[in-house]
Structure 1
Amino acid sequence: MKRKIAIAADHAGYEYKEIVKKYFSENFEIQDFGTFSTDSVDYPDFVHPAAVSIENGENELGILICGSGNGVQITANKHQKIRCALCWMPDIATLARQHNDANMISIPARFISKEIAIEIVDKFLSTDFEGGRHQNRVDKIAFC
């Protein structure tokens, strides 16, 4: 059974979203929350539904893409059960999974190549949480 992945982007991330979707669709079931063109949009309209899909277990992990990666990351992290890491290089994605149990990543499309974006997503999707000493720290992230 294929792992379920949520993906969402704004207009600046649309092209990268389509590339990532195409590259990983053979091995993963990808639910696309939009946007569906390069027309200017408000990223929270797409990020919130993607984050909710992870919170409710509909999707296991999520990929968010915008120009800087910041807006989508900030929005996703408003959700109690989301740990979204801004990743601009593959090693950051690896550590986000291993040490922080990140369940979403954000990618800055205006600052990295398409090839690096693919590498980042590959590392994110293929790396597991190490647990151990990191589990206690992750357990302290949520603030009620």
Structure 2
Amino acid sequence: MLKGIPSILSPELLKVLMEMGHGDEIILADGNFPAASHTNRLLRCDGHGVPELLEAVLSLFPLDTYSEQPVALMAKVPGDKVETPIWATYEDIIRTHMQPQIEHVERFAFYERAKKVYAIVATSEKALYANIILKKGVISE
């Protein structure tokens, strides 16, 4: 254990966050996301939801201020009537750190983008359309 590090962040996840460079992306995936088939760098965060993990990650992880949309969500399939209240939760968490534009990426385009991200963190999040991509920024201090 270390002081000031959220306990939800495993040593493996901390290592990955440290390894990532400016512009690298990471996905915090819901429990339905096909994470294992979309990456060679899979981290498990079973038993946890995305909002608590997002809060912990953003306490250490700078979002890319050089990108117009450093955050991306999987867009709902057209015609899908499912509610997505988790998106408002994400916006509240993100806006405590910065005020970015949030991109909505079509489902299959999101899957293709997932194949190129630095890592995917698989959670037990039950909310639908709860997948989120974060683009790493720089520390200028």
State the TM-score bracket (shorter-chain normalisation): 0.3 to 0.5
- Ranked by relative contact order (alpha carbons within 8 Å, sequence separation 6 or more), the top structure is 2
Question: Which has the larger share of helix?
Answer: 1
TM-score, normalised relative to structure 1: 0.36
TM-score, normalised relative to structure 2: 0.36
